Structure 1
Amino acid sequence: MKIHPLITTTEALAAICARLAKSEFVSVDTEFMRENTYWPELCLVQIANEEEAAAVDPLAPGIDLSPLLDLLVDNEDVLKVFHAGGQDVEIIYNLTGRTPHPIFDTQIAMMALSQSEQIGYSNLVEAWLGLTIDKGARFTDWSRRPLTERQIEYAIGDVTHLSKIFPRILKRLIKTGRGEWLDIEMEKLADPENYRNDPGKVWEKIRPPSRNPAVLGRLRALAAWRESEAMDKNIPRGRIMRDETLADIASHPPREQHDLAKVRGLSSGWKDNDIGRRLMQTLADAKPLTEAEMPPRAPRGAPLGKEGALVADLLKLLLKIRSREIDVAARLLARSDDLEALAAGQRKGLALLETWRFDQFGRDALELVEGKLAFAAVNGKLKMAHIDQIGASGSAAPQNETDQNEAPQDEQDEAPHNEVPRGDEPAA
C-alpha cells in the first residue's frame, strides 16, 4: 500500500479524493480535541482504500476540505468504513450538516460475528491481523503543529489496518448470512437526527429532581440556556454549570441574583455578573411543562411488578444462552428495556419481535413469556426446550444441537488470528 506524505494543500487533497472516488470503499478515521471546547476541534483526517492511504491536515493554512467532504457525504457509490465511528460521523455532520452515506462500522459488525459488545480497535487489529498497535501516540495533543512522524504513522495505521480487515469481515458476514442483520444498525449510525443538536431537548438527558411540572419546566429552560451559553463561548457545558447544580437550581430557584452566591457549584461572582443575570432571566421566563410535555413514568409498557421482574430475569437468561449458542453480542439481539416491556405484556413496537431478531431470539422469548418454553440442564449446560419435549425424567431435547461457534472449514482463513476478545475495551 502506498502511504502519501501529510496532505496540506487543496490540490493534493483533490487529487487523492478523485482516485478514492473510484473505489468500492474507503476507510476513514479522525483525530480531534474536545476537552476544552464545546465543538470538537478536527485536527487530522485519515483516509485509505486497499491501494493507498494518507493523512489530511485540516489545520494547514489555506486548505479547503471540500473534495474530502464531497467524497464522504455526496458520493453514494463509495462505502465509508469506520470503527466505532459515532464521533467521526458527528464531526462530519458539524462541518456539513449531513452524514456520510452509505456507511459501515466494524465495531457494530463484530457484534454479529462474536459475543463482543464493544471490541476496541487495537483488539480488532490483533484478532484479525495478528498485530499489536503502539498506543503511545493515542493521547497526544493533535492540535499542536508540527505533527511528529510518530503521530502521523500512528494515525495512518488506523485506516491502513481497517482497509485490510474490512474485506475479511465482509466476507465472513456473507458466508454466515448475517450481513443483512446490520442494515438497520448502519442506517441508525448514519441518521442525521443522532447528531442534530437541539438545546430544547438536552434536559431529557439530565436526571430529573422531581416530576413537578414547574420544576421540570425550569430544568428544561436552564438546560437550553446552558447549552446556548456553552455554544456561544465554545466551551464544554460542564464549564458553565454541572448537571447536579442545574437540577438543584431547578428544584430550589433563588429569589434574587445575589442568592446565587449561596448555590453550591457556582462561584460568588454570579451574584452580580452578566451570566448570573441571564440565568435569573431564564428562571423568570420558564414555564411549567404541560401535561402533554411531561415525560412518561416508565420507558415502555406497564409496571413490571414482582412477577414481571422475575419473567424479565428469565428473558435475560434466555438472551445469554442464545447469544452464546449463535455467537452474537447479546445487545445486538435485544435490549434490556425491550425484555422488560415484553415481560410487562407489550407486543408491539419491539425490535426483538421483528425481522431477523424474531427468528433468532424473539420467537423463543415470546414462547417463554407464554409458558411454552422452559429451561433444562443437558450434559451440564443450560438449554432451551419446549414444554412438550420435556419427559417424565425432566430431561429435554435441546433446541439447538449444533455448536454454531465453530466456523465452517472454508471460513478458517478469514477468521480472526485469535479468539475475538470478549471485553469492553473502549473504542480507539
Structure 2
Amino acid sequence: MIIHPLITKTEELSALCERLAKSDFVTVDTEFMRENTYWPELCLVQIANTEEAAAVDPKADGLDLSPLLDLLTDNEDVLKVFHAGGQDVEIIYNFTGRTPHPIFDTQIAMMAISQSEQIGYSNLVESWQGLTIDKGARFTDWSRRPLTERQIEYAIGDVTHLAKIFPKILKRLMKTGRGQWLDQEMEKLADPANYRNDPTEAWKRIKAAGRNAAMLGRLKAIAEWREIEAQGKNIPRGRIARDETLADLASHPPKQQSDLAKVRGLSQGWKDNDIGKRLMNTIAKSSPLTDDEMPPRAPRGAPLGKEGSLVADLLKLLLKIRAREIDVAARLLARSEDLELLAAGVRKNLPILEGWRYEVFGHDALDLVEGKLAFAVVDGKLKMTRVEDAEEVPVTE
C-alpha cells in the first residue's frame, strides 16, 4: 500500500480524491479536539482504500477540503467505512450539513457476528490481524503543529488496518446472512437528524424529576439559552452551567438575580454580571409546556407492577441465552427498555416485534411472556424449552 506524505495542498487533495472516487470503498477516520470548544475542532482526516492511504491536514493554510467532503457526502458509488464513526460523521455534518452515504461501521457490524457490544479499534485490529497497536500517540494534542512522523504514522494506521479488516468482516457477514440486519443500523448512523443541533430540543437531554409543565417550560428555555451562549463563545456547554444546575434552576427558579449566588454550580459573580442578567430574563420569559410538548408518560411498570420487573428479568435472561446461542451482541437484538415495555404489556411499535428481530428473538420473547416457553438445564447449560413440547411429569403421592 502506498502511504502518501501529509497532504497540505488543495491540488494534492483533489488528485487523491479523484483516484479514491473509483474505489468500491474508502476507510475514514478523523482526529479532533473538543475539550475546550463547543464545536469539535477538526485536526486531521485519514482516508484509504486497498491501494493507497493519506492523512489530510485541515489546518494547513489555503487548503480547500471540498474535494474530500464531496467524496464523502455526494458520491453514492463509494462505500464509506468507519469504526465507531458517530463523532466522525458529526464533524462532517458540521462542515457540510450532510452525512457520509452509503456508510458502514465496523463496530456495529461486529455486533452481528460476535457478542462484542462496543469493540474498540485496537481490539478489532488484534482480533482480525493479530497486531498490537502502539497507543503512544493516542492522547496527543492533534491541534499542535507541526505533527511528528510518529503521530502521522499512528493516525494513518487507523485507516490502513481498517482497509484490510473490512473485506474480512463483509465476507463473514455474507457467510452468516446477517448483512440485512445492519441496514437499519447503518441508515440510523447516516441520518442527518442525529446530528442537527437544535437548541430548542436541548432540554430533552437533561434529567429532571417530575412532569410539571411550568418547570419543564423553564428547563426548555434555559437549556436553549445555554446552547446559544455556549455556541456564541465556542466553549463546552458545561462551562456555562452543568445539567444539574439547570435542573435545579428550573425546579427552584430564583426570584431575583442576587439569588443566583446561592445556586449550586454558579459563581458569586452571577448575582450582578451580564450573563446572570440574561439568565434571569430567560427564566422570566419562559412559559409552561403545551400539552403537545409534554413528554409522553412511560408505560414502564404498568400494568404488571412488581411482577412486571420479574418478567423483564426473565426476558433479559432469555436475551443472554439467545445472544450466546447465535453469537451476536445482545444489544443488537434488543434494548433493555424494550424488554421492560414488552413485560408491561406493550405490543405496538416495539423493534423486537418487527422484521428480523422478531424472527430471531422477539417471537420467543413473546412466547415467554405468554407462558409458552420455560427455562431448563440441559447438559449443564441453560436453555429454553417449549411448554407444549415438554412431557407431562406425573405427580406421585
TM-score range, shorter chain: over 0.9
d(CA) in 1 for partners of 2:132, 2:283: 54
Once the two structures are superposed, the pairs formed by residues 348-363 of structure 1 within 5 Å of their partners are 348-363=348-363
Q: Secondary structure at the match of 2:43?
A: strand
Over 3 Å counting, the alpha-carbon distance change for 1:301 and 1:21 in structure 2 is farther
Encode CA deviations 1:80-122: one digit per residue, 9 max, x unaligned: 0000000000000000001000000000000001011000000
Once the two structures are superposed, the pairs formed by residues 36-55 of structure 1 within 5 Å of their partners are 36-55=36-55
**Could you say which residue in structure 2 is the equivalent of 1:332?**
332
What amino acid does structure 2 have at the position aligned with 1:127? Answer: S
**Could you say which residue in structure 2 is the equivalent of 1:373?**
373
Once the two structures are superposed, the pairs formed by residues 305-320 of structure 1 within 5 Å of their partners are 305-320=305-320
Is contact 1:82–1:106 with CA below 8 Å preserved after alignment? yes
Q: Secondary structure at the match of 2:75?
A: coil
Over 3 Å counting, the alpha-carbon distance change for 1:300 and 1:392 in structure 2 is closer
**Could you say which residue in structure 2 is the equivalent of 1:425?**
none
**Could you say which residue in structure 2 is the equivalent of 1:65?**
65
**Could you say which residue in structure 1 is the equivalent of 2:33?**
33
Give the drift of 1:343. 1.0
Encode CA deviations 1:123-148: one digit per residue, 9 max, x unaligned: 00000000000011011000000000
Give the drift of 1:393. 5.1
Unaligned ranges ≥5, structure 2: none
Give the drift of 1:210. 2.7
**Could you say which residue in structure 1 is the equivalent of 2:99?**
99
TM-score, reference length from structure 1: 0.90
Greater shift after overlay, 295-304 or 344-353?
Answer: 295-304
Greater shift after overlay, 125-134 or 289-298?
Answer: 289-298
d(CA) in 2 for partners of 1:187, 1:217: 33
**Could you say which residue in structure 2 is the equivalent of 1:291?**
291
Give the drift of 1:300. 5.9
Task: Tell whether 2:133 aligns with 1:146.
Answer: no
d(CA) in 2 for partners of 1:216, 1:263: 18
d(CA) in 1 for partners of 2:148, 2:198: 38
Is contact 1:38–1:230 with CA below 8 Å preserved after alignment? yes
**Could you say which residue in structure 2 is the equivalent of 1:224?**
224
What amino acid does structure 1 have at the position aligned with 2:228? Answer: S
Count of aligned pairs = 394
**Could you say which residue in structure 2 is the equivalent of 1:259?**
259
Once the two structures are superposed, the pairs formed by residues 132-171 of structure 1 within 5 Å of their partners are 132-171=132-171
Unaligned ranges ≥5, structure 1: 395-428
Is contact 2:301–2:308 with CA below 8 Å preserved after alignment? no
Greater shift after overlay, 242-251 or 319-328?
Answer: 242-251
**Could you say which residue in structure 1 is the equivalent of 2:172?**
172
Task: Tell whether 2:341 aligns with 1:344.
Answer: no
Encode CA deviations 1:202-244: one digit per residue, 9 max, x unaligned: 1111111332211111111010000000001000000000111
**Could you say which residue in structure 1 is the equivalent of 2:129?**
129
d(CA) in 2 for partners of 1:300, 1:56: 49
Task: Tell whether 2:22 aligns with 1:8.
Answer: no
Give the drift of 1:270. 1.1
**Could you say which residue in structure 2 is the equivalent of 1:239?**
239
Encode CA deviations 1:289-344: one digit per residue, 9 max, x unaligned: 12222212316684541111111111111000000000000000011111111111
What amino acid does structure 2 have at the position aligned with 1:154? Answer: Y
What amino acid does structure 2 have at the position aligned with 1:23? Answer: S
Q: Secondary structure at the match of 1:141?
A: coil
d(CA) in 2 for partners of 1:359, 1:2: 45
Is contact 1:28–1:159 with CA below 8 Å preserved after alignment? yes
Is contact 2:303–2:345 with CA below 8 Å preserved after alignment? no
TM-score, reference length from structure 2: 0.97
Is contact 1:309–1:340 with CA below 8 Å preserved after alignment? yes
List, as ranges, runs of 4+ consecutive aligned residues in structure 1 with deviation greater than 2 Å.
299-304
d(CA) in 2 for partners of 1:233, 1:20: 38
Give the drift of 1:33. 0.1
**Could you say which residue in structure 2 is the equivalent of 1:207?**
207
**Could you say which residue in structure 2 is the equivalent of 1:185?**
185
Greater shift after overlay, 302-311 or 142-151?
Answer: 302-311
Name which structure has the greater RCO, CA cutoff 8 Å, separation 6+.
Answer: 1
d(CA) in 1 for partners of 2:304, 2:133: 46
Identity percentage of aligned residues: 80
Give the drift of 1:258. 1.7
What amino acid does structure 1 have at the position aligned with 2:156? Answer: I
Is contact 1:304–1:340 with CA below 8 Å preserved after alignment? no
What amino acid does structure 2 have at the position aligned with 1:15? Answer: A
Root-mean-square deviation (Å): 1.2
Greater shift after overlay, 58-67 or 308-317?
Answer: 308-317
Q: Secondary structure at the match of 1:196?
A: coil
Give the drift of 1:59. 0.1
d(CA) in 1 for partners of 2:150, 2:342: 52
Is contact 1:214–1:287 with CA below 8 Å preserved after alignment? yes
d(CA) in 2 for partners of 1:30, 1:299: 41
d(CA) in 2 for partners of 1:250, 1:8: 49
**Could you say which residue in structure 2 is the equivalent of 1:271?**
271
Q: Secondary structure at the match of 1:185?
A: helix
Encode CA deviations 1:340-396: one digit per residue, 9 max, x unaligned: 1111111111111111111111111111111111111101111111112212459xx
Over 3 Å counting, the alpha-carbon distance change for 1:192 and 1:233 in structure 2 is same
